[in-house]
Amino acid sequence: MNPDHLYPYLVPGLINPGWEPVCVAVGHGVWAQLFTDTEAAAGIVHTTVSPEQLRDAGLTPEEAHARALENLVRFADDSPDLSIQLLGNPGDAVNFLLYCDHPRAAACLRLPDLYEQACDLLKATEVCAVVPQRESLVVLPKRDRAYREMIVGKLRELEADANRPISFELFELTPAGVREFHES
C-alpha cells in the first residue's frame, strides 16, 4: 500500500463494522473510510484499506487519515479533474458552491480550509453542506430554513438516481470543522 495513494472517501455507513477503528465518523451515519486509488486505463480503481493493511504498512489509523487528508488537499488544490463551481451570486435566489465530476468530490467536505473558502466565495459567515453522492458536494449559505429545504429538495430530485448515494442531511461548516446540522 502506497501512502501517496491513500484518500478518505465518504460512505453512508460502514461496509464492515469491525473497521470502525480505522474510520472517522463525520455525522448523520456518514463515515470517512480509507481507500487507495490506482490509475488504470478505464479510470481510477478504488480499493478499501483494511485494518490489517494499515498495520502491515506500519501506520496507525490517525497517521493514515492525516496522510489521506494531505493527499486530498493536494488533489483539490492541483487537479483539473475536480470541478469547483460557484452558482449564482450572493443574494440571488439560488447561490451555492458545487464540487463535482470526480469520485473524491464528496470527500472535499473534510478539507481543512473548506469553511474559509466557502465563506469567502459565498460572502456568508454561516454555511452548510450536503453530500448527496460520491461525486458531489454542495456548500450553501445557511440563510433560512426555507432556503435550505428548497436546495435539499432540488438535490433530492436531481440526485435521485446517483450510483453512490451518501446523504441528504445537512452538515454545518465552522472554523473548528464539520458537524451535523439539525433544524431548531
Judgement on whether residues 53 and 94 belong to the same structural domain of the protein: no
Q: Are 88 and 130 in contact (CB under 8 A)?
A: no
Judgement on whether residues 87 and 175 belong to the same structural domain of the protein: yes
CA separation for the pair 72, 43 (Å, rounded): 18
Judgement on whether residues 114 and 62 belong to the same structural domain of the protein: no
Query: Measured between alpha carbons, how far is residue 4 from residues 24, 35, 108 in Å?
Result: 19, 11, 17
Judgement on whether residues 89 and 168 belong to the same structural domain of the protein: yes
Give me the pLDDT at residue 42, please: 81
Q: Are 6 and 159 in contact (CB under 8 A)?
A: no
Give me the pLDDT at residue 97, please: 97
Give me the pLDDT at residue 123, please: 96
Query: Measured between alpha carbons, how far is residue 6 from residues 65, 77, 91, 109, 119 in Å?
Result: 8, 16, 39, 16, 28
pLDDT in tens, 125-163: 999 999 999 999 999 999 999 999 999 999 999 998 888
Alpha helices in the chain (DSSP H): 51-57, 61-78, 114-122, 145-158
Judgement on whether residues 98 and 176 belong to the same structural domain of the protein: yes
Give me the pLDDT at residue 102, please: 93
Give me the pLDDT at residue 16, please: 86
Q: Which of 78, 107, 138 is the C-terminal boundary of a domain?
A: 78
Judgement on whether residues 88 and 176 belong to the same structural domain of the protein: yes
- Which stretches in the chain have pLDDT values below 70? none
Give me the pLDDT at residue 113, please: 95
Give me the pLDDT at residue 116, please: 97
Q: Are 139 and 114 in contact (CB under 8 A)?
A: yes
Q: Which of 44, 78, 112 is the C-terminal boundary of a domain?
A: 78
Give me the pLDDT at residue 41, please: 83
Q: Are 126 and 142 in contact (CB under 8 A)?
A: yes
Query: Measured between alpha carbons, how far is residue 60 from residues 6, 10, 63 in Å?
Result: 13, 19, 5
Judgement on whether residues 37 and 107 belong to the same structural domain of the protein: no
Judgement on whether residues 92 and 158 belong to the same structural domain of the protein: yes
Judgement on whether residues 16 and 47 belong to the same structural domain of the protein: yes
Between the two ends of the chain, the Cα-to-Cα distance in Å is: 45
Q: Which of 78, 106, 122 is the C-terminal boundary of a domain?
A: 78
Q: Are 115 and 126 in contact (CB under 8 A)?
A: no
Residue 49 per-residue DSSP state:
-
Residue 25 domain boundaries: 3-78
Our count of domains for the chain comes to 2
Give me the pLDDT at residue 94, please: 94
Judgement on whether residues 88 and 102 belong to the same structural domain of the protein: yes
Judgement on whether residues 59 and 15 belong to the same structural domain of the protein: yes
C-alpha cell, 83: 470541478
Give me the pLDDT at residue 160, please: 86
